[in-house]
Copies of this chain bind each other. A is one copy, B any other.
Amino acid sequence: MIVVMKIGAKQEAIARVIETAEEIGFSAHIIEGKERVVVGLVGVDGQRDKMITMGEMDGVDKIIPISKPYKLSSREVKNEPTIVDCCGVLFGGEHIPVIAGPCSVESEEQTIKTAEFVKAAGASMLRGGAFKPRTSPYAFQGLAEEGLKILAKAREVTGLPVVTEVTNPKYVDMVYKYADMFQVGARNIQNFALLTELGKTDKPVLLKRGMSTTIEEFLTASEYILCEGNKNVILCERGLRTFETATRNTLDISAVPVIKAKSHLPIMIDPSHAAGHWQYVGPLSKAAVAIGADGLIIEVHPNPEKAWSDGAQSLTPTQFIELMGSLRSIALAVGRTI
């Protein structure tokens, strides 16, 4: 940690900083600048809270933490990319898997029909929500276990592995029984009880970035899963909350190269929730493939106008088939397959 003293800070203030630091267990290195003194502190882990408090001491301008709050997800700790395997579908390699399906599981017919369509179009996995975290309690909340059974049935019929959201730690076991991959939604990125529970399982976790989560916090949230022993984490960018309202969220496409530089975990893109309007889903998907995303998760509904949720951002099967064709050319252009 670096303690930046104010210009003209008194010798006693500097001495008191050093004394406090040494009490905690640091050794202090003084750098006398032209304007001000800077104190470098070396030597202790896990005292971040106490260190931060030093920023409030007399004569201190600010403190700057140097070590990162995440470790296991960091490229400094593990430099080769992690490839996550979900029933043979690989995330983080040359192939770019596309997960597709309806926002909500509404019925067996709707789900299986969509699953067959997206499989035919080249999707690698099926998505579908059985537990829906909705902003309003008056909106459709999902079919719960009945929905999970339908997803399992759709897998049986099509062979596509299945990912679905879990929102409550107490349902982790139930979802485990039916699904091949857990999804943590943007609203639960800091639901640490849930993350910890998922860290104790052995199935892959698709972890969506919250809409006001920094990349550093995103990687730190993934540590809750990794440090429990589950190494199968796939990150997913789905848009930030900004002042812009033309799209539902502002897709932070830069997160792809940034996360690839800082972490070894695969990073995918959810263009549907970012866009909020189906006509922007295709363009965002193309950008995602070009920039190097390790996967896509796209909402597809046989009849978006009748969808029980997120119809506005769902593609029809025909639109999805067309899009997959375009994505294949771009994947080829960047040396990958889809």
Residues of A at under 8 Å CB distance from B? Answer: 2, 4, 6-8, 20, 29, 31-36, 38, 40, 42-43, 45-46, 48-50, 52-57, 61, 64, 66-67, 69-71, 76-77, 133-140, 167-170, 187-188, 190-193, 196, 210-212, 214-217, 220-221, 223-224, 227, 240-247, 250-258, 261-262, 274-275, 277-280, 283-284, 286-292, 304-312, 326, 329-330, 332-334
Contacts and interface: CB of A to CB of B under 8 A. Distances in A.
B212 A212 contact: yes
Nearest to A197: B168
B330 A326 contact: no
Nearest to A136: B69
A217 B211 CA distance: 14
Q: Sorted from nearest, which 9 A-B pairs have the closest CB atoms? A: A53-B311, A212-B212, A290-B290, A287-B287, A329-B333, A168-B193, A7-B76, A187-B190, A257-B283
A10 to B, nearest CB: 13
A311 B261 CA distance: 19
Given A250-B252, A257-B284, A289-B290, 14 more contacts: A32-B42, A36-B67, A49-B307, A52-B311, A52-B312, A56-B279, A56-B305, A70-B136, A133-B192, A169-B170, A240-B244, A247-B254, A253-B287, A332-B333
Contact of A56 (B20, B253, B304): B304
Nearest to A31: B40
A250 B240 contact: yes
A257 B244 contact: no
A290 B338 CA distance: 15
